[in-house]
Structure 1
């Protein structure tokens, strides 16, 4: 199981947007440049985030993106689902019906794939955990673990004064 790097970049960018005043926005060019990414890659990620209402786009020369919700209302799972889509990680292929354990007419009860049920249950537990981690939590955690100077330099970079 592996999420694309788009999830990680999305979370980084979203935490940068927390400190942007509600009447301002940050351009994709600035977000991409700060992280050493291509604008087209990040534009695709932000298109997905915008589509589900995590960010809103601001048109115009000084346009860009800003959070469309408060940081406590954006969970890690919201971001994962926006970037990766809603498809379950485990895709049951019902191989039991084709395997050597399958016997024609052995059971009259409906068949349930125990493996699929376990995998889907595990995914749900992971989703619940990620739903409990929000951008607000991430921002507070970064304030706790990163040197104050790093946070200040990042905030300055994305302020209108720094751009």
Structure 2
């Protein structure tokens, strides 16, 4: 199982929206992270569609969190970017096997697939874990593990308003 890099891009960029009162543009986020602006725009369209962020129109427009960071879990971001389909796609191949091939097993007592049940339980465990990790948690964790000056410099970059000119 592998999530697309879009989940990583989304989580990294969403954390920058937390402390800011003003909206942040795609250009600033893409420039700061060194990621493709067009791809980030597609990810932000998905995040907007599910109500994680909102678009702010105008010259000073961009994006803001649409909900409190404590109400946005990693799982919310995964589902927004990757979609809601289950990770494991059971094809029920046991019913195509030799013992079941010529029988109608719609009412068989052992018709549930043990493999599917285990995989669904594993996915539920991961979902539960990621639902417990929110953007607020991430913000606190970054404050704990990153140097204070780096956090200060990051906030200053986005507070400038003309941050895409930083490389000029």
Question: What's 2:68 paired with?
Answer: 70
Question: What's 1:27 paired with?
Answer: 25
Shift, 1:106, TM fit: 8.8
Give the distance between the partners of 1:104 and 1:117, measured in 2 at CA: 24
**Residue-by-residue CA offset, 1:95-117 (whole Å, 9 max, x unaligned):** 11222343534965251111111
Structure 2 gaps of 5+ residues are: 164-168
Shift, 1:162, TM fit: 6.1
**Residue-by-residue CA offset, 1:24-77 (whole Å, 9 max, x unaligned):** 100000000111111110000000000000000011122100101111000000
Shift, 1:161, TM fit: 5.4
Question: What's 1:94 paired with?
Answer: 92
- Structure 2 length as normaliser, TM-score? 0.90
Structure 1 gaps of 5+ residues are: none
Give the count of matched residue pairs.
161
Question: What's 1:138 paired with?
Answer: 138
SS of the equivalent of 2:24 reads coil
Give the distance between the partners of 1:112 and 1:4, measured in 2 at CA: 31
SS of the equivalent of 1:66 reads strand
Question: What's 2:36 paired with?
Answer: 38
SS of the equivalent of 2:19 reads coil
- Structure 1 length as normaliser, TM-score? 0.93
Question: What's 1:115 paired with?
Answer: 115
**Residue-by-residue CA offset, 1:75-95 (whole Å, 9 max, x unaligned):** 000000000000000001111
Give yes or no for contact 1:75–1:135 (8 Å, CA) kept in 2: yes
1:61 is aligned, of 59, 62, 81, to 59
Shift, 1:160, TM fit: 3.0
